[in-house]
Structure 1
Amino acid sequence: MDKSISHDPLVLVARRAAAAGAEVLSRRDESQFNLNDKSAAGDWVTDFDRASEEAIRATIVTSRPNDELTGEEFPSAKPSHPSGVRWSIDPLDGTTNFVRNIAYYCSSVGACQLEEDGTETWVAAAIVAPALQVEYFAGKSLGAWKHDLRTGKLIQLTGPVESATKILGTGFGYDAERRQFQARVLEGMLEDYVNVRRIGSAALDLCLVAEGALDAYAEYGTQEYDWAAGALIAEEAGCQVGRPASNPGWQYAGLVDTAKLSVPGS
């Protein structure tokens, strides 16, 4: 692994924070879920979501008290003397998988830098999937990596290769009308792929594209915390990446014909 990424201060904090969140998730206990719906039936939140985000925030604040924090479960935290760095946190991406004991869930942490022109540049990312025992991380212009937590093996990610047997990853919203729209768009895309996978975690979908296990990923209506880390990991692996210009919008990565990604009413 290149020393520049192994010593990058924001990447190091991202990795520590994602690991802290994942450690909470590794203590999964069905008796302690305290399961509740959020936006719709099936859009679950548990005490583990909240405890994981608390662990992630505490890890970041310990090293970088002047950074802004945004996340899925708690209000944004803006410091009195902001550093210009903002963190986007998804403490448990794949809550449904977590509740149902399906291994594809993770803690996801991304950092962006506020530029002089007011734009934000994503600069550091880390995702840890405790049930899979794998970590993904990336830094802006520093590459993307997969870390097998069982063996310690590190692999630099280089994305998918064009082939005649491409597989698409996607996801569906909790709202029935949105699912119907997503299915219509998916029908128009299917001619480009031999099959589809629905993993249940946008962050891990993006990582799977980064490592070439999936050839493409496209999903409508994801939130920033869903893609903040995974999009940078895919981008640093050399993938075409699209971040939603508006919310909701399309998040995509890999070998995607973007002309087929319509919006409702078009």
Structure 2
Amino acid sequence: MDIRNKANRIRLFNFSTPQMRAFHFSWFAFHICFWLVRHRPLMAIVREDLSLTQTQIGNTIIASVAITVIVRLAIGVLCDRIGPRKTYTGLLLLGALPVMGIGLADSFETFLLARLAIGAIGASFVITQYHTSMMFASNVVGTANATSAGWGNLGGGTTQILMPLIFSGMLMLGVNEAFGWRLAMMVPGVVMFFTGIGYWFFTQDAPMVISATCALGVNCLKLPAKTVPRKVFSRRQGYPCVGTVRCLRPLLWRGADNQQYCRHLLLR
């Protein structure tokens, strides 16, 4: 770990640290989202069921890509305002609804609206890169970002492999093709929903920084109330600190600004 408790190594089989949990959840969430925005394996069946023309299919693809560009800008702002954990959780939970609801489409218009909503899920790329950047030190952050993005993009290949298998499984249960593709879309939607729940419970926005001077937007551990004036860690002043921390040396007061300084402790 570096001085701000960011990971300076990628330990793929270590799930005990917040850095590696964020890494694995972020790439997997992106993988699921990338899986969901691709409907090509089942598009021939969807086209026949909904009587879509080639032009209409092309329009749904264009709309899906266009909405992703717009939503990515909004997602970037949300990451800055509320953090990647809340943003990703909200995107996954809300995005699961149109994924499962696309099975209710019965016309070009309803299918287009569902594709627009699903296309917005493509903004997950932004959160994945944001979260890994927050968790890894400068000597390895590029590798972490590239790995999480690459494994996420593999979702396109997962679509090509799994969706025909899931669709075939539905047919084996005795349903027809028109109903089978609708049921097949329920499966990734359910996976996406539970991934969002896991993201909320098993990740955090940033690594824990142990310092008496907490920065806004960083998870900090504060000093005991008996040692540090409460006003220093007031939420109204923008210090989102929780828990306790021990200093390696006595606190020092610097002039009239009443700012306190403490050596960093590294969490093991």
Question: How does the TM-score come out when normalised to structure 2?
Answer: 0.23
Tell me: higher relative CO, structure 1 or 2? Use CA pairs within 8 A at least 6 residues apart: 2
Which structure: greater helix fraction? 2
Structure showing greater Rg: 2
Which structure: greater strand fraction? 1
